[in-house]
Amino acid sequence: MEKKFNQPLGGNDMTRAGGPATMMRLPTQKNAAGLDACFVGIPLDIGTSNRVGARHAPRSIRAESCMIRPYNMGTGAAPFDNIQVADIGDIPINTYSLLKSIDIIEQKFDEILQHNCIPLTLGGDHTVTLPILRAIAKKHGPVGLVHVDAHTDVNDEMFGEKIAHGTTFRRAIEEGLINGNRVVQIGVRGSGYAAEDFDWGRKQGFRVVQAEECWHKSLTPLMEEVRQQVGNGPVYISFDIDGLDPAYAPGTGTVEIGGLTTIQALEIVRGCQGLDIVGGDLVEVSPPYDTSGNTSLIGANFLFEMLCVLPGVLSEKHP
């Protein structure tokens, strides 16, 4: 039967090892016109503080997305039956200037949002979320945030710089891009500079869920509370791959042990179903440190899972 919306290229039409490496082997287009959702890459890593390499992630995530089939057998979601999706390529950042790059990103996301298209971003380091949220807040006002990460990313400055991958969510609060009472950070852990390191966000109203609170548990009950906290307003999902344990996702820049399992992260993203999601990103995959390709592969799958919980995507099973 002829399908109404763009479909990923099937594994029986072209071997999964072949064809152009677009996200999920979807068609490409130059801009977001006519799309309900798009995949867009940001090949930027000049905001990182330790290992670099995230600039290579959009291409690598696309390559590793070649196995993902159109139906979500876990949730019953069938995104390509319900909404129009394409891969709109990469943002042409300036690889010598972080400040110029974030202006370019904001302007390109303004364009995407003008088309009423929901962006799902293939990062890039976590700096990219700031200009995305700047564009999103212009359209939707301050949004709620589901933030998966080993780090809170609320430093005031890094090496004296206000813009870096570890300052994103402090700037987002200061600029009124996110509503502190509608923010949850899940998976934070590791060593710090002071015992109060995770408390700045709590003072802004964030719910900060440390990794230790997640150990050995299903996160489905947590997500019930998160949905209550976040409520009916617009929500953004920001998924730093280092929220996962390095046993699953070693290919990243700032590794912390004792992280989330892939199953717990599935419970988080699937637990966002029913929220008014206005955008999402998957950041901090660093292919040079990802010798098996698994980190990119996991990243690709979580971007698919985000697609599966967007408004307008019907699902047989609800959380």
Strands across the sheet containing 234-240: 85-90, 37-41, 118-122, 276-283, 234-240, 143-148, 178-188, 207-210
Query: Could you write out the DSSP letters of every residue in 201-221?
Result: HHHTT-EEEEHHHHTTS-SHH
Measure the CA–CA gap between 55 and 300, rounded to whole angstroms.
Answer: 15
Question: What is the distance between the alpha carbons of residues 252 and 245, in angstroms, rounded to a whole number?
Answer: 11
> Least distance to Mn ion from the beta carbon of 80, Å?
30
Nearer to Mn ion, 256 or 305 (CB): 256
Nearer to Mn ion, 149 or 305 (CB): 149
- 121: left (phi > 0), else alpha (psi -120 to 50), else beta? beta
CB nearer to Mn ion: give 72 or 168.
168
| Whether the Cβ atoms of residue 279 and residue 120 lie closer than 8 Å to each other | yes
Quick one: 153 or 267, whose CB is closer to Mn ion?
153
* Minimum distance, C-beta of residue 260 to Mn ion, in the bound complex (Å): 12
Minimum distance from residue 185 beta carbon to Mn ion (Å): 10
Q: Under the rule (CB under 5 A), what is the footprint of Mn ion?
A: 126, 149-151, 153, 240, 242
Contact 98, 106 (CB under 8 A): no
Closest CA to 129 of 59, 185, 193, 60: 185
Report the DSSP beta bridge partners of residue 148. 186, 239
Q: State the nearest-atom distance from the C-beta of 240 to Mn ion, in Å.
A: 4
Task: Give the residue with the Cβ less far from Mn ion, 13 or 161.
Answer: 161
Supply the minimum distance, in Å, between the C-beta of residue 314 and Mn ion: 32
- Amino acid (one-letter) located at 23: M
As given in the structure block, the two tokens for residue 115 are 């088309």
Tokens of 67: 């196995």
Q: Please identify, using beta-carbon distances, which residue of 64 and 256 lies nearer to Mn ion.
A: 256
Cβ nearer to Mn ion, comparing 86 with 150: 150
